[in-house]
Amino acid sequence: MNPVMKFLHKTGSPAYFYWLSGRIIPWLWVVFAVLTTWGLYQAFFVAPSDYQQGESYRIIYIHVPAAWLSMMIYLMMAIFGAIGLIWRIRIAEILAISSAPIGAAFALIALITGAVWGKPTWGTYWVWDARLTSQLVLFFLYLGVMGLHSAIDEPRKAARAAAMLALVGVVNLPIIHYSVEWWNTLHQGTTIKIIGESKMPSSMLFPLLLMAVATKFYFGAALLSRARNRLLDQDRRRGWVAKSIREQRL
Amino acid sequence: MNAFFSLLKRDLLLAVRSRAEALQPLFFLLVVVTLFPLGLGPGPALLAKIAVGVIWIAALLASTLSLDKLFRADFEDGSLEQFLTSGHSLSLLALAKIIAHWLSTGLPIVLFSPLLAIWLNLPHEALPVLVKSLLLGTPIFSLIGAIGAALTVGLRQGGQLLALLIFPLLIPVLILATGAVSAATDNLESSAYLLWMAAYAVLMLTLAPFACAASLRISLS
């Protein structure tokens, strides 16, 4: 068996996953704390004021990473869900459903910070702009996944149904996004490009990238913590939990 | 294929035999549309402006109302488990149920839409586009809705949850359809919107039956 498959097989075992994630989580928190402190310092003290928006633009250092992350988490959730559905790997199912509340939270953060920024800049808290609307729809999609999951009592069935819905959502998401874009747009065009020159000076961009990376570490830590709790809750009568307690590994 | 046609025939026959139940979504649609002029005032200019949105949202609500029942009866009397164990392709059987659902609820909505358009004072030149958009859009409601119905089939509070699951997914249909009709009202070309809707309908026609079958398997496990 090649090393990658071996690793996947091993992490698929609840006991090993529980142990491994317990080892990884503290490091994720440390990296998150360091990057966030550095990023926020850069964002608030080093990055220059905007010549048009003054200081209010600084909210993008929260808003943009949260919006990016909320979209990435949906994709991750669908990928975990697909892995769980196809190979019947329980850890993947647990990771998929554990992603949903975190993604919903970041979608909400992006919406709220966007509203706070919109008031001084656009003069209103809410407009039916394309990107705001797709973010709101994304939030509703998360709510749907969470709602379906909580409506089904049997944990594995609930996780698989939620994963299925996440997959259906991920197929539709680009269609929803572009149809909403077509419908109405007021939002500024894309400033940051992976290919080609970004329309943002590097002194402003650097803290944003730091924060974007920092939030990914937060996601990793929060996801693994949630998954561990869920796993422990589901497996509380299983042998490996008792064994771990005896060996004082919990 | 035989199983497909016999299931289609059975579901249509059931719809014909219990006419009152099958026509509920249509009556619901008519009642909801009636409420709008009563609530917003009968001014023809205002009604013409909101007509397409009202018709489409009412159609969306009416379809969702009936989707909740799509698999419920078969689930309760055990037929659904028989489909699963019958050895026939579950996707094909799901497709038969979806088509039967569209024929019994979507098609009546399309047929009655000219009446609604007259009620709401929709400009005459927009009427053909409204009918075409409904003809393309209501099957998408049935197709995507069937996935939601399959996922919520065994649940107690299925109806509201179903709405929460599928409304966000149906937003593109609403946008494209109202875009098409608004363009036609302004004497602009609406075929781009309709072609996009057709593309979406075809995509969902190919994918939804499989997703629906997989969801049924999960719900019955």
Touching check for A140 and chain B: CB below 8 Å? yes
| Average pLDDT value over all residues in chain A | 87
Cα–Cα distance for residue pair A241/A244, rounded to 1 Å? 5
Rounded average pLDDT over B28-46: 90
- Name the A residues in 48-107 with CB < 8 Å from any B CB: 85
Q: Which two tokens stand for residue B33?
A: 């549309």
Q: ipTM score of the complex?
A: 0.89
CB B212 within 8 A of CB A165: no
Helix (H, G, I), strand (E, B) or coil at B12: helix
* Chain B positions in Cβ-Cβ contact with residue A160 (cut-off 8 Å): 218, 221
**Percent of chain B whose pLDDT exceeds 70:** 100
pLDDT of residue B201: 95
CA end-to-end span of chain A, whole Å? 31
CB A166 within 8 A of CB A145: yes
Q: Which residue of B has its CA nearest to A170?
A: B169
- N residues, chain B: 221
Rounded average pLDDT over A145-170: 93
Detail the DSSP E strand segments found in B30-140.
Answer: none
pLDDT of residue A190: 58
Cα–Cα distance for residue pair A48/A204, rounded to 1 Å? 7
For residue B165, give the nearest of A148, A160, A175 by CB distance. Answer: A148
Touching check for A183 and chain B: CB below 8 Å? yes
Q: What is the pLDDT of residues A44-80, one digit of tens each?
A: 888 877 777 777 788 889 999 999 999 999 999 999 9
Residue A124 in this model has a pLDDT that exceeds 90: no
Detail the DSSP E strand segments found in chain B.
Answer: none
pLDDT of residue A185: 54
pLDDT of residue A187: 52
Q: What is the pLDDT of residues B178-198, one digit of tens each?
A: 889 988 888 888 898 999 999
Sign of CA pseudo-dihedral B65, B67, B70, B71: negative
B157/A151 touch (CB, cutoff 8 Å), yes or no: yes
| Shortest Cα–Cα distance, B207 to chain A (Å) | 9
Touching check for A14 and chain B: CB below 8 Å? no
Q: Which two tokens stand for residue B123?
A: 């400009």
Closest CA to B146 of B161, B166, B174: B166
Q: What is the pLDDT of residues A79-97, one digit of tens each?
A: 999 999 998 888 999 999 9
Q: Which residue of A has its CA nearest to B199?
A: A175
Q: Which two tokens stand for residue B11?
A: 């579901």
Residue A197 in this model has a pLDDT that exceeds 80: no
* Chain A positions in Cβ-Cβ contact with residue B207 (cut-off 8 Å): 171
The DSSP bridge partners found for residue B14 are none
| Shortest Cα–Cα distance, A71 to chain B (Å) | 15
Alpha-helical (H) ranges within chain A are 3-11, 14-41, 60-87, 90-122, 130-151, 155-183, 202-234, 239-246
Phi, psi angles (nearest 5°) of residue A54:
65, -130
pLDDT of residue A249: 62
Residue A239 in this model has a pLDDT that exceeds 70: yes
pLDDT of residue B73: 87
B151/A85 touch (CB, cutoff 8 Å), yes or no: no
Q: Which two tokens stand for residue A79?
A: 């990928």
Q: Which two tokens stand for residue B113?
A: 């839409």
Detail the DSSP E strand segments found in A69-113.
Answer: none
pLDDT of residue A170: 92
Phi, psi angles (nearest 5°) of residue A50:
-80, 140
Rounded average pLDDT over B98-103: 95
pLDDT of residue B190: 87
Give the start-to-end residue ranges of the domains of chain A.
56-189+200-246
Phi, psi angles (nearest 5°) of residue B37:
-60, -35
Q: Which two tokens stand for residue A5?
A: 């498959």
Cβ partners under 8 Å of residue A53, min gap 6 = A121
Rounded average pLDDT over A207-230: 94
Rounded average pLDDT over B97-118: 93
Confidence of residue A199 (pLDDT cuts 50, 70, 90): low
**Percent of chain A whose pLDDT exceeds 90:** 50
Sign of CA pseudo-dihedral A92, A93, A96, A101: negative
Question: Which range scores top for mean pLDDT: A36-50, A95-109, B11-25, B44-58?
Answer: A95-109
Rounded average pLDDT over B49-76: 90
Q: Which two tokens stand for residue A61?
A: 């250092």
